[in-house]
């Protein structure tokens, strides 16, 4: 018998990423009821939230780089290619708070990311320096830090006596933090087997093109499903 430890990982369902926030994703608030339904009725062993949580002078903010524009401009931030954004999800502000409609009553573990101003962290598992060349990591030893999320999930699965881990990822934004999180998840193992990772696509919204994001996820070995196949 294969006992599966099933995790619902809800990425960055925060005020900053919904209409009215500082980095709004179109229709981002529309996923909140579905996120709650999946959390309550998806049969998960555990629901985990990630929270984008930046210092006010984070290096991903266009405001920190004279003459640079958010969304369109990229810089090299400590050796890592960095798209620039509006100031968003600054620690201690309402923008960084979870959406008020998101049911957090079942959440035992929350992962904050993007706290180091020197490197961004789209993924809930590792910062954006994860795949930097060894020489670059030697120069900037903070690149590629783990948030501890994969170890946390392995420990929870082991405590539950599970044989394998499955992670369903939802949230904002599909083509940035959801995609980076799901792709990093595929690279993690439990008991010698990779985490089985799926994105529940109707419980996400994208900044750019959804079809491109879905193709990119499938190419990386991430399953792409609809909530109707989860909420049976």
Which residues are at the interface with ligand VGL (CB under 6 A)?
12, 17, 52, 85, 122, 172-173, 176-177
Is there a catalytic annotation at residue 97?
A: no
Q: Residue holding tokens 């959440």?
A: 107
Task: Decide whether 172 or 222 has the Cβ nearer to Zn ion.
Answer: 172
Stretch that binds Zn ion, among 27-35, 112-120, 125-133, 220-228 (CB under 5 A): 112-120
Q: Which residues, at least 6 apart from 136, have a Cβ–Cβ distance to it below 8 Å?
A: 79, 80, 129, 143
Least separation, in Å, of the C-beta of 21 and ligand VGL? 11
Residue 111 and residue 147: Cα distance in Å, rounded? Answer: 7
Q: Where are the alpha helices (DSSP H) in the chain?
A: 32-41, 134-139, 149-159, 179-186, 210-219
Q: Considering the candidates 87, 177, 184, 204, report the single residue annotated as catalytic.
A: 177
Is there a catalytic annotation at residue 113?
A: yes
Residue 87 binds to Zn ion (criterion: CB under 5 A): no
Q: Considering the candidates 29, 113, 120, 175, report the single residue annotated as catalytic.
A: 113
Q: How far is CA 145 from CA 57, 81, 120, 213, 226, in A?
A: 20, 16, 11, 25, 32
Task: Decide whether 85 or 126 has the Cβ nearer to ligand VGL.
Answer: 85
Q: Pick from 29, 46, 49, 52: which binds Zn ion (CB under 5 A)? A: 52
Looking at the annotation, which residues are catalytic? 12, 113, 177
């Amino acid at each position: 018998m294969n006992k599966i430890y099933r995790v619902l990982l809800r990425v960055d369902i925060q005020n900053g990423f919904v209409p009215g926030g500082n980095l709004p994703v179109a229709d981002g608030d529309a996923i909140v009821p579905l996120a709650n339904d999946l959390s309550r009725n998806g049969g998960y062993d555990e629901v985990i939230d990630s929270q984008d949580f930046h210092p006010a002078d984070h290096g991903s903010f266009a405001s920190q780089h004279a003459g640079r524009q958010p969304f369109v401009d990229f810089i090299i931030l400590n050796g890592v290619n960095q798209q620039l954004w509006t100031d968003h999800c600054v620690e201690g502000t309402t923008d960084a708070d979870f959406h008020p409609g998101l049911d957090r009553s079942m959440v035992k573990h929350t992962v904050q990311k993007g706290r180091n101003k020197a490197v961004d962290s789209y993924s809930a598992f590792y910062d954006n320096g994860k795949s930097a060349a060894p020489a670059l990591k030697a120069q900037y030893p903070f690149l590629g830090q783990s948030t501890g999320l994969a170890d946390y999930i392995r420990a929870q699965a082991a405590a539950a006596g599970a044989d394998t881990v499955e992670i369903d990822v939802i949230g904002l934004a599909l083509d940035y933090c959801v995609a980076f999180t799901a792709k990093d998840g595929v690279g993690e193992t439990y008991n010698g087997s990779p985490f089985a990772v799926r994105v529940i696509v109707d419980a996400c919204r994208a900044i750019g093109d959804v079809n491109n994001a879905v193709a990119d996820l499938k190419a990386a070995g991430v399953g792409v499903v609809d909530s109707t196949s989860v909420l049976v």
